[in-house]
Structure 1
């Protein structure tokens, strides 16, 4: 995971939006932007996650 911080969120509402950059069978890569209520970019994170199948419906 890599996070870049650009500014502090001091007051008001903060919004985080995550978008998938890659959805594979074994890994996923996501990019998350955090903005304040004026739309100013506060931080950006790129993270890679491993897909671990559960024991629920459809799992072997």
Structure 2
């Protein structure tokens, strides 16, 4: 997968982009992100609902 290239290059966090049009779909962070409730999530993937198709 294309987003895995960033991880292989040593990046801990980066944006997730559409492989077709380069639209930003979200982001990932292997070090983790803090949730709205205060809990830490490791690794963390954040997706923008408005950018994704629902099935």
TM > 0.5 fold call = no
Tell me which protein shows more strand as a share of its residues.
Answer: 1
Instruction: Name the structure, 1 or 2, with higher relative contact order (CA <8 Å, separation 6+).
Output: 1
Whichever structure has more helix as a proportion of its residues is: 2
For the pair shown, the structure with the greater C-alpha radius of gyration is 1
